[in-house]
C-alpha cells in the first residue's frame, strides 16, 4: 500500500494549498521577493522554484514563464531552456542534497494527475535510499515543511557554483 502511494510522485502538493484565484505559477512571477517564494533560478523563458508542498524534501519545479497548458505550445527556445534548467536542477540536487536518485517528469492533463492544470511544469523529486520506509504519506498531508530555507540556500549556492563553472 505504502509503495503504491510512494510511486505516485506526481501529485502536486498545490492541490492541497488554499484555492486562490488565478494561476499559481503566473502569480509567483509577480512576486519580487524570490526568497519568500523559494525561486532558485530565473532564466529567460523559465524559472525554477522549490515546491512548498513537496513530495520529498527538495522537490523542485521547472516552469515556463508563459501560461501554457500543453507541451506543444512551447517554442523551441523555451523548450531548450526548459530542459537545460531540468539538467541544472538535477545536478544541483545531486550535489547539494546528496540524492541517490531523482524522479522527473510532467503530468499533462487532469487524467495524468496535473495539480496545476493549465500551466505546464516539470517535477524533480529527489529520492534517497530507504526514503519510502520513512515517509508518512497517509492522507497526503505529509512531512516536510521541514526546513525549506536551509535547503533553499544550499541549492542556490550550488546553482551559483554550476553557473560559474561554465
Ligand atoms: Zn500560469
Q: How far is the CA of 57 from the centre of ligand 1 (A)?
A: 24
List, for residues 118-153, the tens digit of each pLDDT value.
899 999 999 888 776 444 443 344 444 457 888 899
Q: How far is the CA of 24 from the centre of ligand 1 (A)?
A: 6
Q: How far is the CA of 118 from the centre of ligand 1 (A)?
A: 7
Domains of the chain, start order = 2-165 (3.30.428.10)
d(CA 101, CA 121): 20
Question: The whole model's pTM is what?
Answer: 0.79
Transcribe 58-95 into DSSP letters: T-EEEEESS--SSGGGS-HHHHHHHHHHHHHHHHHHHH
d(CA 118, CA 109): 8
Q: How far is the CA of 29 from the centre of ligand 1 (A)?
A: 9
Amino acid at each position: 500500500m505504502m509503495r503504491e502511494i510512494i510511486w505516485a510522485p506526481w501529485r502536486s502538493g498545490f492541490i492541497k494549498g488554499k484555492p486562490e484565484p488565478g494561476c499559481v505559477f503566473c502569480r509567483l512571477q509577480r512576486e519580487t521577493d524570490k526568497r519568500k517564494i523559494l525561486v532558485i533560478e530565473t532564466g529567460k523563458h523559465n524559472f525554477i522554484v522549490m515546491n512548498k508542498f513537496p513530495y520529498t524534501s527538495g522537490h523542485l519545479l521547472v516552469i515556463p514563464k508563459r501560461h501554457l497548458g500543453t507541451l506543444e505550445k512551447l517554442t523551441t527556445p523555451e523548450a531548450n531552456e526548459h530542459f537545460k534548467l531540468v539538467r541544472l536542477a538535477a545536478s544541483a540536487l545531486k550535489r547539494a542534497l546528496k540524492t541517490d536518485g531523482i524522479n522527473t517528469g510532467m503530468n499533462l492533463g487532469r487524467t495524468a494527475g496535473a495539480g496545476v492544470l493549465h500551466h505546464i511544469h516539470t517535477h524533480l523529486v529527489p529520492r534517497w535510499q530507504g526514503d519510502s520506509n520513512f515517509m508518512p504519506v497517509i492522507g497526503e498531508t505529509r512531512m516536510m515543511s521541514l526546513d525549506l530555507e536551509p535547503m533553499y540556500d544550499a541549492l542556490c549556492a550550488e546553482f551559483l557554483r554550476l553557473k560559474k563553472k561554465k
